[in-house]
Structure 1
Amino acid sequence: MNYFVRRAGTALATLFAVATLIFLTLHLVPGDPAEVLMTSGGMAPSREAIDALRISLGLDRPLWDQYLAYLARITSGDLGTSFQDHASISAEIIRRLPRTVELIVSAAVASVLIGMPAGILAALRRGSFWDGLLSSLASLGLSLPIFVTGTLMILVFSQTLRLVPAGGYADFTEDPLKHVVYLAMPAISISVGLIPVVFRMTRTSILEFLEREWVRTARAKGLTERSVLLRHVVRNSLSPVITVLGLHIGTLLGGTVLVEYVFNWPGLSGMLVQAVEQRDYPAVQGIVLVICILFVLINMGVDLLYGLLDPRVRAR
């Protein structure tokens, strides 16, 4: 219980610091949002019109006043309204966030289903042909940027073989099969860089635990190699794999911009890019804050799971 309380307190302090940093950073960026909005259509508005818009947007108030109002809003779950169309930012994030999360979770599941068995096989066949082949493929996967992988997949499977569309989105409730088809390539593009991470960590952990004394003791007691591997080696090697995977999943929350752009996937990243270009402070603050909250929650979840798998962590 104390372990959970400590982790929750750290998470809350981190979120407060992040929210403050987001607010201050955006307001230090050069450019007047009111002027950007007024001149976006090629017009040349008067200074009076720009000042009137600044007042209506609340940008004329002191920075500390805007900051307190910002904290009051986010603590109540209100992320404000967009400078562009005055639409609810919370509603738009709720609509787009599941698409980005679905993309990342699909890639993570694929990386675990492929990376862990491959890592176990490479560790058990250390120095063999399979170990060398899988390690080489992992190095290749790590060296390929996401946008290169995505572009190559579009070139091969969409333009050349014409097996799947190059990009787009279909609602799952309307057409499940079409939704999965559109999801496949962007999820695979992300997993290509994530599978090697899981593979290498699994291989390293398995090799480390195979040399432990209690593993040799289990073999000496007459346990089968399968039982030793599953009950003693694989189970204990899950902790570092889960930790690394959790960190990478959190990073991907803010790193799917290129994938969503290449495959025209209407997730949260596209909304963030548009908001930054238009100096839409409330939208940028809301999106980045939600991404940070998810990142902190994922890491806290990984820490708690790590504590469940390893009782020594909870005792620290």
Structure 2
Amino acid sequence: MHYILRRCMTATATLFAVATLIFLLLHIVPGDPAEILLSGGGVAPSPESVEAMRVQLGLDRPLLEQYGSYLARIATGDLGQSFQDGFPIATEIITRLPRTLELVLAATLISVIIGLPAGLAAALKRGGALDGFLSSLASFGLSIPIFVTGTLLILLFSQTLRIVPAGGYVDFLESPAEHVIYLLMPAASIAVGLIPVVFRMVRASILEFLEKEWVRTARAKGLLERTVLIRHVIRNSLSPVVTVLGLHMGTLLGGTVLVEYVFNWPGLSGMLVRAVEQRDYPAVQGIVLVICLLFVLINLAVDLIYGILDPRVRYE
């Protein structure tokens, strides 16, 4: 219980610091947001209209008062309204976020399904031809940028083989089969860079635990090799793998921009790109805050799972 409480307090403090930093960014960026907003048509706004817009946006109030209002709003889930269309930002994020999360989770699942058995096989055949081949393949996968992977997949499976569409989105409730088909290529593009990470981590972790004294003792007692691997090696080697996966899932949330753009996937990244292009500061603030929130929650979940897999960390 103390371990869980400690981790939750750390996560809360991190979120508070992130929210404060995001708030300050609006006041650090060059230019007046009100003037930038009114200059969208290319005509310089009058000082009166700029001042009226500052009042409307609440920028005329003292900084601490703005900060207090900002914290109160986000505590209730109110991320404000878009500068461009006046649409509630939270509503748009709620619509798009599940699509981005689905993409990240699908890529992670593919990575685990392929990377975990590949890492185990390479570790058990250490120094052999299979180990060398899989390790070389992993190095190659790490060297390919995501947008290159996406382009190659489109050229191969959409343009040449014509197996799957080049991009787009179909709602799951509308057609589950088509939804999965449209999901496969963008998820695979992300997974190509994540599979080598999982593979290397699994391989290194299993090799480390194979040399542990208790594994040798288990073998000396006459236990089957399969039993030794499952009970004493694989389970213990999963802890660092879970940590790495959690960290990369958080990173992928902010790294899906190119994939969603290439495959025309209507997730959170498209909204972020549009908000940046239009200098829609409240929308940028809201999206970044949500991504950071998810990153913190994922790492909190990883810490808790790590504590379950390895109870020793709870007492450190």
Same structural fold, with TM-score higher than 0.5 when normalized by the shorter chain: yes
1:180-195 mapped onto 2 (5 Å cutoff) = 180-195=180-195
- Quote the Cα distance in structure 2 between the aligned partners of 1:96 and 1:248: 21
Residue in structure 2 matched with residue 62 of structure 1 by the alignment:
62
Deviation at 1:100, TM superposition (A): 0.3
CA distance in 2, matches of 1:145, 1:191: 11
- Quote the offset at 1:121 in angstroms: 0.1
Deviates more, 1:242-251 or 1:59-68: 59-68
Please tell me the residue identity of whatever aligns with 1:186.
P
Corresponding residue of 2:275: 275
Q: CA deviation at 1:143?
A: 0.5
Residues 36 and 278 in structure 1, CA contact (< 8 A), matched pair in contact too? no
Q: State the one-letter code of the partner of 1:100.
A: T
Q: Residue in 2 aligned with 1:197? A: 197
**Map of 1:315 onto structure 2:** 315
* Superposed CA offset, 1:6-62 (max 9, x none): 000000000000000111123211133333332323445433223322221222223
Structure 1: give runs of 5+ residues left out of the alignment: none
CA contact 1:33–1:278 (8 Å) conserved in 2:
no
The Cα of 1:166 is off from its aligned counterpart by 1.4
Aligned counterpart, 1:157: 157
Report deviation, 1:163: 1.9
Q: Deviations over 1:273-302 (max 9, x none)?
A: 211222222211111111111111110110
Aligned pairs for 1:79-158 (under 5 A) are 79-158=79-158
Separation in structure 1 between the aligned mates of residue 76 and residue 297 of structure 2, nearest angstrom? 18
| Alignment deviations for residues 236-276 of structure 1 (CA, whole Å, 9 cap, x no partner) | 00000000010000111111111111111111111112112
Quote the residue 1:170 is aligned against: 170
Query: Secondary structure of the residue that 2:41 maps to in structure 1?
Result: coil
In the alignment, the residues of structure 2 paired with residue 261 and residue 23 of structure 1 have an alpha-carbon distance, to the nearest angstrom, of 27
- Aligned residue pairs, count: 316
| Aligned twin of 2:11 | 11
* SS across alignment from 2:80: coil
The answer as to 2:277 corresponding to 1:284 is no
Of stretches 63-72 and 143-152 in structure 1, the one that deviates more from structure 2 is 63-72
- The equivalent of 1:297 in structure 2 is 297
* SS of 1:289 mapped into structure 2: helix
d(CA) in 2 for partners of 1:86 and 1:112? 42
Letter in 2 for 1:61: R
The separation in 1 between residues aligned to 2:127 and 2:147, in whole angstroms, is 33
Aligned to 1:306: 306
Q: What aligned pairs does 1:208-227 form with structure 2 within 5 A after superposition?
A: 208-227=208-227
User: Match of 1:262?
Assistant: 262
Confirm or deny: 8 A CA contact 1:115 1:198 kept in the other structure: yes
Q: Distance in 2 between matches of 1:197 and 1:176?
A: 30
Task: Give the AA of the match of 2:262.
Answer: V
The 2-side partners of 1:246 and 1:253 are apart by 11
Distance 2:135 2:118 in 1: 9
**Do the aligned residues in 2 keep the contact of 1:57 with 1:83 (CA within 8 Å)?**
no
Equivalent residue letter for 2:219: R
TM-score with structure 1 setting the length: 0.97
> Which residue in 2 is equivalent to 1:41?
41
Name the residue aligned to 2:71. Answer: 71
Deviation string, structure 1 residues 111-149 (Cα, Å, up to 9, x no partner): 000000000000000111110110011001100111111
SS in 2 for 1:40: helix
TM-score normalised by the chain length of structure 2? 0.97
- 1:229 is matched with which residue? 229
Aligned AA (1:46): S
**Alpha-carbon distance change, 155 to 35 in structure 1, aligned in 2, over 3 angstroms:** farther
Instruction: Give percent identity, aligned residues only.
Output: 75
CA RMSD of aligned residues (A): 1.2
Q: Aligned partners of 1:42 and 1:153: how far apart in 2?
A: 41
Residue type at the aligned position of 2:140: L
Which consecutive residues of structure 2, in runs of 5 or more, have no partner in the other structure? none
